[in-house]
Amino acid sequence: MTKYTPMMQQYLRIKAEVPDAFLFFRLGDFYEMFFEDALKASKELEITLTARGGGPEEKIPMCGVPYHSAAAYIEKLVERGYKVALCEQTEDPKQAKGVVKREIVQMITPGTAVNAIEEKENHFLGAAVECPDGRYSIAYLDLSTGESKAAVVAGEDLLIQEMALIKAKELIFPSTVSDSFIKTFKDRGHTAISKVSAEALNFDESLLENLQGQDIKEGISLLLHYTTDTQKRSLDHLQLTEPYEVSSYLQIDPNSKRNLELTENSRSGAKKGSLVWLLDETVTAMGSRQLKSWVERPLINRSEIYERLSLVESLKHHFFERESLREQLQHVYDLERLAGRVSFGSVSPRDLLQLKRSLQQVPFIKDKLREIPDAGLNKRGEAMDACVDIADLLHASIDEQAPITIKDGNFIKDGYSAELDEYKDASRNGKKWIAELEQKEKALTGIKSLKIGYNRIFGYYIEVTKANLTALDDDRYERRQTLANAERFITPELKEKETLILQAEEKSVELEHRIFQTVRDLVKKEIPRIQKLAKDISEIDVLQAFAYVSEKRHYTKPVFSDHQLLNIHEGRHPVIEKVMDINEYVPNSCVMDESRSMLLITGPNMSGKSTYMRQVALIAVMAQIGCFVPADRAELPVFDRIFTRIGAADDLVSGQSTFMVEMLEAKHALDHATKNSLILFDEIGRGTSTYDGMSLAQAIIEYVHDSIGAKTLFSTHYHELVELSSKLDKLKNVHVAAAEQDGKVIFLHKVKEGPADKSYGIHVAELAELPHTLIQRANELLSEFEAEKHHADEGQLTLFELPEKSNQDDRKILKDIQKINVLEMTPMEAMNELYKLQKKAGKLLAKS
């Protein structure tokens, strides 16, 4: 260290505190970076790399960004998963003895960045700590809104699932976790991960008042410590941590959520084409975030679901009141994030005006809720705190024409402070006096080009061009500055007034800043009230959005069955229906009860099997978030979990094939489904050979039917499986109808009872416009294969039946074959069993 200059020694000491972050080291009007930080930042930010002296090496790598435009550079680094530590000068350079004192004033990380974030999205920071019993204490926090939640989950699988659902921008783990544990999350796309010491945690423990038991506190404690340690500023807007039970909501694993396209479409990951996109007729940013939260965690408590549905029904039936409500909500800004900016001290005069205008709408919102004859809406309206005192304070203090930042001044309203009004009056009248003086001097001297100006160095001055200097014969003019073509003067009269004006302006600016801080602090004390109001408004916004969509798209109110009945009459896929003309969409019914728990769906590709399956699941989700559903009638059970295996995609990152992904997703469903679950399996087994796939598909169907009993939709191209309906009493065959016309296939998109008669695979290829000669050859081959199969099948067993006429020895060997569980045998065991059967068959043949 002694080999470096004092300033570089200071830099190295501070950098040692944040080895995993870029250190933005303040030097004058720039943030500078040195050594490895400079080398890496110059590439990431595409800025010039330079060098400077200051150490034993010839030159120290260096790069920097201007202080006033640093935000854009910081945002770019944070978006790429990096952390940035802001190191500021903490003493006046004029007062410094030696190197100016500097220290880190804030860490900006992917999970704590609050400036450049999506308006309608939460920005979560997540954490997890392993409990002594192998469970995990998890928590997540949105620093921009102050909301946080905590739970305990059983095992690593559920931990991974919850973190995937939360979509945290950054994950925090104790420093003791293994590298393999970290890798598990990095492999799943969590690029920003921080390890934090769990010793000597420092945070506001009053935020944990809602939590019972030590285990649930572990994750949020680590999270709050990390937030407190990195932000180093007021966090008064942080709300009490809300506990939740994963099992208290309809559980949908990340794969199923993606397959159903609940929050984003599966093709591009964009919001458009998802269920949230369809339902998001919210008016406020808070409401949009609340909607997404409800969609990701549907309810399973029947009374809570019915309460939402009842409120939606009332809003749906009162069009004019609802439209007025929507109009009032248009003027409500993001109260949650405004409260956050108040807490951080970064709130601007314009922000406070937005807060005031939002609060001024609340009495009208309350009135509209009172006008609707619904006790639930009336109660919500009565409970809503309009925060009238805060609105009155802001109305009295902040000028309507306030600038964006406080540095521009003139943001406190006239009449709020008598002292400030005096300073403003002196400043305004002084400037008027300056203008009058200019006219007076022009008249006295006869110099029409004479002007009075001001600059920060010389103050006020009278400027006269050199050509007119002879007109100045008065001793009153004292030279102040010489220019190339003019001279600048001051008079005793102007000097006296200058002092008065500048003192008034200086005191005015200083007092205005103090008043603004006082107003901001008064508002800060009321942050919990503002946050409660934000929650109330966001829920009303989502409920009115449900009502708006339900009326516009002709949805109906669902009811819930006490007998596990699922009866959807003329249901529609809500998103596809919106995308296409509503008159073109073919609705389909679905009936499942205690005697009919599994539907085996057959039909050609492109006929609508997957759409049918998805629409059943989406109708269930919509019902359980409290929204009306796209059907003529719908009676549903309350599902506890939804599992889907739809589509095929290799997991290249972890080296898993399509078939392996398929089997893992199937396993997840089989391990966790209950009789109250909904399972969607789309063409299970297609990723392997025909007989392997068909055997697995049958075994899975039998397992779900016999051991789980969940409501299950199972689509397949294995037409042999339709025979299972004769063996499994709760399995029924349905098919998506298609017809041939002039040698062309026509998809009817209508689900009918019974199995499909053929697959129409070559017709689909023809629709895809494969070469005509190829289609002809495929038809020829199909005819040959069918003829061969017919010949081979004569006198042979079907897949599921013994021959009606056979001798005792035949039946015995066939029963032996039926008893074999091929799926649980090793290859060697299978070969041994086959060898035994071959010997038995040989003996029988020898007898005959």
Q: Between 500 and 235, where is the model more confident? A: 235
Question: Does one domain contain both 783 and 816?
Answer: no
* Cα 21 to Cα 138: distance, rounded to the nearest angstrom: 25
Whether residue 777 lies inside any domain: the answer is: yes
Cα–Cα distance, 173 to 139 (Å, whole number): 11
Q: d(Cα 265, Cα 331) in Å, to the nearest integer?
A: 30
- DSSP 8-state assignment for residue 456: T
pLDDT of residue 3: 83
Q: Say yes or no: 532 and 659 in one domain.
A: no
- Looking at the DSSP assignment, which residues form a beta bridge with residue 111? none
Structure tokens at 658: 């399509």
Lowest mean pLDDT of 16-20, 148-152, 643-647, 787-791, name the range.
787-791
Residue 407 lies in a domain: no
CATH of the domain at 145: 3.30.420.110
8 A C-beta contact, residue 63 and residue 42: yes
Confidence of residue 798 (pLDDT cuts 50, 70, 90): very low
| 348 found inside a domain | yes
**271 lies in a domain?**
no
CB-neighbour burial class of residue 542 (10 A; exposed 0-12, middle 13-18, buried 19+): buried
User: Region 192-202: what's the mean pLDDT?
Assistant: 91
Gap between the Cα atoms of 814 and 820, Å rounded: 10
pLDDT at residue number 427:
79
State the first-to-last Cα distance of the chain, in angstroms, to the nearest integer.
98
| Region 482-495 average pLDDT | 91
Q: pLDDT band at 425, cuts 50/70/90? A: confident
| pLDDT tens-digit series, residues 593-619 | 989 999 999 987 777 889 999 999 999
So what's the pLDDT on residue 775? 66
826 with 724, same domain: the answer is no
608 is in an annotated binding site: yes
DSSP 3-state of 746: strand
Q: For residue 303, what is the enclosing H or E element?
A: helix 302-317
Mean pLDDT of all residues in 702-728: 92
Residues 214 and 314 in one domain: no
Please indicate, yes or no, if residue 80 is contained in any of the structural domains.
yes
Q: Count of CB atoms within 10 A of residue 379's CB?
A: 11
CA dist., res. 275 & res. 296, Å (int): 10
Q: Do residues 680 and 787 share a domain?
A: yes
pLDDT band (50, 70, 90) for residue 17 = very high
**CA dist., res. 421 & res. 416, Å (int):** 8
pLDDT in tens, 61-85: 999 999 999 999 999 999 999 999 9
Report residue 358: phi and psi, to 5°: -65, -45
pLDDT confidence of 652, banded at 50, 70, 90? very low
Of the segments 408-417, 423-432, 544-553, 811-820, which one has the largest average pLDDT value? 544-553
User: Are residues 693 and 593 located together in one domain of the fold?
Assistant: yes
- Residue 114 domain-assigned? no
CATH classification at residue 779: 3.40.50.300
User: Is the model's pLDDT at 804 over the cut of 50?
Assistant: no
Q: How far is CA 187 from the centre of its chain?
A: 20
Within a 10 A sphere around the Cβ of 655, how many other Cβ atoms?
A: 8
Question: Which residue range forms the structural domain that includes residue 452?
Answer: 418-521
Looking at the fold, whether 639 and 758 belong to one and the same domain comes out as yes
Element housing 776 (H / E): helix 772-793
Count the helices and strands in the chain (H runs, E runs). Answer: 26, 27
Structure-token pair, residue 120:
């309608």
Residue 836 annotated as binding site: no
The pTM is what? 0.83
> Can you point out the beta strands (E) in 48-89?
50-52, 60-66, 84-89
609 is in an annotated binding site: yes
Tens digit of pLDDT for each residue in 159-191?
A: 999 999 999 999 999 999 999 999 999 988 888
pLDDT in tens, 260-278: 999 999 888 889 999 999 9
User: How far apart are the C-alpha atoms of 545 and 127, rounded to whole Å?
Assistant: 33
The per-residue pLDDT for 319 is: 96
Q: What is the mean pLDDT of residues 618-639?
A: 98
The percentage of residues in the chain with a pLDDT greater than 90, rounded to a whole number, is 64
Give the end of a domain, one of 227, 248, 269. 248
The CATH number assigned to the domain holding 464 equals 1.10.1420.10
Question: Residues 662-668: what's their mean pLDDT?
Answer: 84
**What pLDDT sits at residue 823?**
56
Same domain for 531 and 664? no
**Residues 705, 604 share a domain:** yes
The answer to whether residue 270 sits within a structural domain is no
> Residue 172 pairs with which residues in a beta bridge?
127, 194
DSSP 509: H
Yes or no: say if 342 and 524 are a contact pair by the CB < 8 Å rule: yes
Phi, psi values for residue 487, rounded to 5°: -120, 145
Closest CA to 479 of 468, 491, 470: 491
- As for how many domains the chain has, the answer is 6
Does a structural domain hold residue 542? yes
Nearest to residue 539, comparing CAs of 180, 212, 294?
A: 294
Q: Is 605 annotated as a binding residue?
A: yes
pLDDT tens digits along 327-344:
999 999 999 999 999 999
Distance CA 362, CA 529 (A): 13
Q: With 70 as the cut, is the pLDDT of residue 377 above it? A: yes
Residues 718 and 744 in one domain: yes
pLDDT at 797 over 60: no
pLDDT average, residue stretch 20-35: 95
Q: Could you tell me which residues come within 8 angstroms of residue 323 by beta carbon, excluding any fewer than 6 positions away?
A: none
Asked whether residue 801 carries a pLDDT value surpassing 60, the answer given is: no
Reply yes or no on whether the pLDDT at 690 is more than 90.
no
Q: Is 588 left (phi over 0), alpha (psi -120 to 50) or beta?
A: beta
Q: What pLDDT shows up at residue 651?
A: 41
**Is residue 360 domain-shared with residue 478, that is, in the same domain?**
no
Same domain, 534 and 513: no
With a cut of 70, say whether residue 768 has pLDDT above it. Answer: no
Residue-averaged pLDDT of the chain: 88
